[in-house]
Amino acid sequence: MATELRQQVRMVSSIDEMREISKSFHGSTLGFVPTMGSLHDGHMSLVKQSLKICDHTVVSIFVNPRQFGPNEDLDVYPHDLEGDIEKLELAGVDVLFHPNRETIYPRGFKTHVQVDEITQHLCGNSRPELFKGVATVVLKLFNIVHPQHVFFGEKDWQQLAVIETLVRDLNLDICVNRVPLVREPDGLAMSSRNRNLSPEERTKALSLSKSLQSAKDQILQGITSASQLRESIKKIIFAESGTQIDYISICDPTSLQEKEEVKGRTLIALAVKIGPARLIDNCIVED
């Protein structure tokens, strides 16, 4: 019986050690995939893309407390370090950077990074600290790892827009690679938070992808009114008991400004609370 080949991933928790390893990769291309762990096929699609185009790949696992607000799910965010290491070794990742909170935010830490305008929409409207925390930790990780390429998924569309803006505005010598959203066979967008759903809640969560598909179908039939499409999406999601909608956004995919009509390239994005999990999903449509 054939056995799977595994390359032992180098585990690093020290900033100084991570920097020394990055220096040792000088002259070759280094790819970096920042994550909060509990890895799934969506994360691994980022890893595979890095392995495809880079000589070396570093993955980080750090659950960033500064992007969670009060009463959010920091304390119950899924953890599976042993399983994550196995996935990364089977993929052939060189280094896993796994710092603790005190390493990233030492005593006396006083600095943060703020990206304006695009952070005020979608998730940023109800989670005002989210993208300040994301931008700060991402910039720190970039400065520690020193990659040439970084990889982020389009499921977190707004986060990706924030990181692209950060890299552009601060003249970082980094290429941001977009990787398409990955879904389960039944259509559910892959998320670490899916692990916190009961079987019944997971069935309810399918309302997100179903409502997006319904909106796409309606647009193909000639319906372009954003308010009409929002009501249709809302009806499908609220058909499942216990769902709480944070937002339904029909907006410009670059500025994230809301649209009244679906004209040209448009982002439809959702955030819905189901049980203990706040889930997001999106799709791009063209009219």
Structure tokens given for 196 = 């916190």
The closest alpha carbon to 273, from 191, 179, 213, belongs to 191
Burial class (CB in 10 A: 0-12, 13-18, 19+), 141: buried
3-state secondary structure of 218: helix
**Cβ atoms 94, 18 nearer than 8 A:** no
Say how far apart CA 177 and CA 248 lie, in whole Å.
Answer: 26
Print burial letters for 149-178: b (CB count within 10 Å at least 16), e (below 16): bbbbbbbbbbbbbbbbbbbeeeeeebebbe
177 contacts 160 by C-beta, under 8 angstroms: no
CA distance 190 to 256: 23
Q: What is the DSSP letter of 258?
A: B
* Alpha carbon distance 76, 73 (integer Å): 5
Catalytic residues: 43
Query: How, if at all, do strands 56-61 and 265-274 pair?
Result: unpaired
3-state secondary structure of 265: strand
| Cα–Cα distance, 207 to 236 (Å, whole number) | 6
| Count of other CB atoms within 10 angstroms of residue 254 | 12
